[in-house]
Amino acid sequence: MARPTTVTQGNPYIKSYVAAAQILEGTFVKRSAAGTVTPCVDETQPNHLGVAASHPIEQDALYKYAQYDLVPIIINGEAKVWTLEGDITAGMYLLIVNDFGMCADDGDKAEASTVCKALEDAASASYTTAGLAATAGTKALTVTSTADYFAEGDLVLLDGGTDATSEIAVIDEILTATTLTVKENLAKTYSAKNMHLLVQCEVEIIP
């Protein structure tokens, strides 16, 4: 089961930029303006600068940099990145799959959209729970299908159908098979949506 962990690996070159928007550790970023970065989005040529590393000081929001925070970026080398897929195997190329800067499988060969190469297997299955219901400003979630394969500390994507109506949360407590809480108040409201487990994968950044 995936857990949020430090995203710096190996001996990378790190450079710091100012966040122009909220950024999740372990996701790809791109230039926003001089000296600032935003999350990379799903596009043909993402023009990525690198991966947001773990911060040595605890942020106000768990694992997230707020606007104007100084963000250390892993420019090259190895890093841990977040992916929506659980069937990634070592050697696969990955691309950015959403506006949060997360990755998914790009197949066997690198193309213009490729940002990194997997150095390990991510997981054996991709976990999704259906029927998500939650209200903005609260921490409680309910699902119609079982949440048993989720655990406290897991990072999840609450899928509202589009990137603009979705958000990332950290599970705080599993109350029953269909009820759980997250660590921070939700920004969005959900009705009959999906919740996806996010899986970390160690990768080699492709400049």
Residue 147 within any structural domain of the chain: yes
136-151 pLDDT per residue, tens: 999 999 999 888 888 9
94-124 pLDDT per residue, tens: 999 999 999 988 776 667 788 999 999 987 5
User: In this predicted structure, what is the pLDDT of residue 6?
Assistant: 56
Residue 121 within any structural domain of the chain: no
Number of domains in the chain: 1
User: In this predicted structure, what is the pLDDT of residue 149?
Assistant: 84
pTM over 0.85: yes
In SS3 terms, 59-128 reads as CCECCEECCCCEEEEEEECEEEEEECCCCCCCCCEEEECCCCCCEEEEECCCCCCEEEEECCCCCCCCCE
Residue 141 within any structural domain of the chain: yes
CATH of the domain at 163: 2.40.30
Residue 140 within any structural domain of the chain: yes
Lowest mean pLDDT among 45-54, 99-108, 120-129: 120-129
* Residue 179 belongs to domain spanning: 128-199
Residue 162 within any structural domain of the chain: yes
User: In this predicted structure, what is the pLDDT of residue 144?
Assistant: 93
